[in-house]
Amino acid sequence: MFGTQRNGNGRVRAYLWHRAPLEWKLPNDPKEAKRILKELYFDWAPWMLKFIDIADEQAMYTRPLFFLPVGHRWEHKPGVTLIGDAAHLMSPFSGSGANLAMLDGLELGLVLADVVSKGLEGEAREAAIAEWEEKMLTRGEEVAVKTVKSLEACLHPGAPRTMIERFKEMVSQGKEGSRQVQQE
Ligand SMILES: Cc1cc2nc3c(=O)[nH]c(=O)nc-3n(C[C@H](O)[C@H](O)[C@H](O)COP(=O)(O)OP(=O)(O)OC[C@H]3O[C@@H](n4cnc5c(N)ncnc54)[C@H](O)[C@@H]3O)c2cc1C
């Protein structure tokens, strides 16, 4: 997959994703790195490969992509919890991780405020946090399922056709979701 993203200060960030063994790495020499990338993406449109030619040689990185298995859970531990990527690390293929992390932080803050205002301690406090953890993990799991589907569609030998089909599926699910919200 070859994706570009318009950033601030007139910069465009380009991502090149491919499946490889964990030890796969670009060489430190940027010219050699560009040569290897162009070899790997040799049959892509020439205008896209220009992104490799003009890439800032001080800003080219190899980044392995990790994600937790969908449905990852842990038993509640008194006095400690996890939020954001620490709780539900997923690939960025649904653009949701930062949003989930912020929502987790907001909700956990509200749960803790409630616990404090009600003077809950010990088991009652832990039960409130464990209940919220369950809600957070269920939400994370729902998004992680979508993320895996999108990743598979993007990094697929049939792409971009598989991506287009996936986007169509997401649009129709989005319409269905907003109909449900309107009904509620
Ligand atoms: C390529 C890419 C694109 C993405 N695009 C999107 C997007 O479009 N939309 C979206 O919502 N999400 C996106 N995400 C996901 C998003 O970046 C993460 O889900 C989000 O940053 C998670 O926030 P976090 O605070 O949980 O963890 P992090 O942002 O990872 O923050 C954890 C922090 O803890 C620090 N830390 C780690 N260990 C220690 C230690 N021992 N002591 C002290 N500090 C420590 C780290 O340095 C880091 O600053 C993308 C991710 C990637 C990789």
What's the pTM? 0.89
Identify whether residues 97 and 42 lie together within a single domain. no
In a domain, 58, yes or no: no
8 lies in some domain? yes
> Is 116 a member of any domain?
yes
Find out whether the beta carbon of 106 lies less than 6 Å from any atom of ligand 1.
Answer: no
- Cα separation, 52 vs 172, in Å, equals 35
Ligand 1: atom nearest CA of 99 is: 11
Single residue among 13, 37, 53 that ends a domain in this structure: 53
> 30: Cβ below 6 Å to ligand 1?
no
- Please tell me whether residues 34 and 89 are part of one structural domain: no
| Domain assignment present for 26 | yes
pLDDT per residue as tens, the chain (184 positions): 998 999 999 999 999 999 999 999 999 999 999 999 999 999 999 999 999 999 999 999 999 999 999 999 999 999 999 999 999 999 999 899 999 999 999 999 999 999 999 999 999 999 999 999 999 999 999 999 999 999 999 999 999 999 999 999 989 888 766 666 566 5
Is ligand 1 within 6 A of the CB of residue 27?
Answer: no
CA 98 to centroid of ligand 1, rounded, Å: 7
Q: 99 CB less than 6 Å from ligand 1?
A: yes
Report pLDDT for 177: 63
Å from CA of 39 to ligand 1 middle: 31
Q: How far apart are CA 83 and CA 76, in angstroms?
A: 13
Same domain, yes or no, for 36 and 108? Answer: no
Residue 83: Cβ within 10 Å count? 21
- Evaluate whether residue 163 is within a structural domain: yes
User: Is residue 77, in this structure, part of any structural domain at all?
Assistant: no
Structural domains in the chain (count): 2
Q: Verify whether ligand 1 is closer than 6 Å to residue 96 (CB atom).
A: yes
Q: Do 125 and 174 have their domain in common?
A: yes
Residue 95 in contact with ligand 1 by CB distance below 6 A: yes
Domain limits for position 149: 85-183
Confirm whether 102 is domain-assigned. yes
Tell me the residue type at 23: E
Contact yes or no for 105/84 (Cβ under 8 A): yes
pLDDT, residue 147, reads: 96
pLDDT value at residue 173: 84
33: alpha, beta or left? (left if phi > 0; alpha if psi -120 to 50): alpha
- 102 and 169: one domain? yes
Token digits of residue 15: 């991502």
Phi and psi (nearest 5°) for 93? -75, 5
Statement to judge: residues 39 and 114 lie in one domain? no
Q: Is residue 149 part of a domain?
A: yes
Residue 111's pLDDT is: 98
